Structures are given as structure tokens and as C-alpha cells.
């Protein structure tokens, strides 16, 4: 994993170039990349956003399940459980029930 660059970067010599019009590394002459990871590299900012997307999807699934339960509607398992063979989701396992009962 490599920190996410602000501008163009040379992955051979780890030089970050701020000039937008520069296409080649001033040190080694290799072509600069624009935040696209080559094989074997992963930028930390992209990893963070992948985790955020997954967390938001899980939140929406839990919200949908609890909402339908509160309205008394039938509850089915989400698409990712039925079709993609993920583990079943129980939103109540993620809640501290003691804290909810005290309020």
C-alpha cells in the first residue's frame, strides 16, 4: 500500500510531481501515473473509500430490515445474502440492547 498522491507520481523512484502538464518523470524519464494503481499497488485513499462504500451498503441493508420490521411488513434476506452467498445479516446483533432499554 502506498499513500495516495496529490498529483502525478512516478512509481519507480517515488517522486510526486505537482506540475499538471508534465508527463514523464524528471529523474528517470518513466511515464507518470495519475492515481491509477498498477498491479501490486494499492493507494490508501482508495482502500478507505472501498471500506466506506461497503459500510454504507451494510447500513442501508440494516436500516431497510429494521424499517420493514417496524412497519410489520414481511422481511426477506437482502440480495447479497440470497444471491452472493454472504453471511445472513442480523441488525439487532450490532445493537447494544442494554443501552436501548435504559432510554
90 versus 74: the higher-pLDDT residue is 74
pLDDT in tens, 27-55: 888 787 776 676 777 777 888 888 999 99
C-alpha cell at 85: 452467498
pLDDT in tens, 8-32: 777 777 777 777 677 888 788 878 7
Beta bridge pairs of residue 10: 15
- Residue 2: name the closest of 52, 55, 38 by CA: 38
Beta bridge pairs of residue 24: 31
Q: pTM for this one?
A: 0.57
**Residue 47 to residue 55: CA distance in whole angstroms:** 12
**Residue 87 to residue 69: CA distance in whole angstroms:** 20
CB 25 within 8 Å of CB 17: yes
Amino acid at each position: 500500500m502506498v499513500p495516495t498522491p496529490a498529483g502525478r507520481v512516478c512509481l519507480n523512484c517515488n517522486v510526486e510531481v505537482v506540475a499538471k502538464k508534465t508527463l514523464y518523470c524528471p529523474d528517470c524519464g518513466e511515464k507518470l501515473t495519475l492515481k491509477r494503481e498498477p498491479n501490486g499497488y494499492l493507494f490508501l485513499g482508495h482502500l478507505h473509500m472501498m471500506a466506506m462504500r461497503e459500510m454504507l451498503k451494510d447500513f442501508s441493508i440494516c436500516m431497510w430490515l429494521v424499517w420493514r420490521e417496524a412497519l410489520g411488513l414481511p422481511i426477506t434476506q437482502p440480495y447479497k445474502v440470497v444471491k452472493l452467498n454472504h453471511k445472513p445479516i442480523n441488525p439487532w446483533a450490532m445493537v447494544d440492547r442494554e443501552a436501548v432499554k435504559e432510554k
